[in-house]
Structure 1
């Protein structure tokens, strides 16, 4: 069993997100988003490191945009904003 399969088995995320979008700034590999997804939220990560973004996409069922965030960065509208 792969790591992702084990995490999905333990956390039991819903097949279809039932809560609003969570935007994750400085997302890394998605550790913070993982808990939100386990509770039914859809997440979208923003991360400048390509390897971290690839890991985020692999670990979660969500999009990660590889970008250097600036005050001018256009983010999607979301009721929840998180970041580490």
Structure 2
């Protein structure tokens, strides 16, 4: 039994919860570990990450999307977000 199979056995997935209307803006998102908790309780996440590999992992492992982008001082991405993390 590999690690993934063990996790699936020990932590069976619950039925998918309906996504809430709340949007989480995940800055410096990495692979999405922090966003994972928000998605687990139904939030919709959008990540911003400068590293391509991390952004790809985020997009594969989470429902939300990740944008590969270098954030610059003064950029305002928070208008549409209810929660900002990162």
TM superposition score normalised by structure 2: 0.78
Correspondence 1:9 to 2:25: no
Q: Which has the higher strand share?
A: 1
Partner of 2:85: 82
Partner Cα distance (2:57, 2:71) in 1: 19
CA contact (8 A) 1:13 1:37 kept: no
Unaligned runs of 5+ in 2: none
Structure-to-structure mapping, 1:2-81, within 5 angstroms: 3=4, 6=8, 9=13, 13-14=16-17, 16-75=18-77, 77-81=80-84
Partner Cα distance (1:9, 1:25) in 2: 27
Partner Cα distance (1:71, 1:17) in 2: 31
Partner Cα distance (1:67, 1:31) in 2: 18
Q: Pairwise CA RMSD of aligned residues?
A: 2.7
Partner Cα distance (1:8, 1:68) in 2: 37
Unaligned runs of 5+ in 1: none
How many residue pairs get matched? 80
TM superposition score normalised by structure 1: 0.79
CA displacement at 1:19 relative to structure 2: 4.0
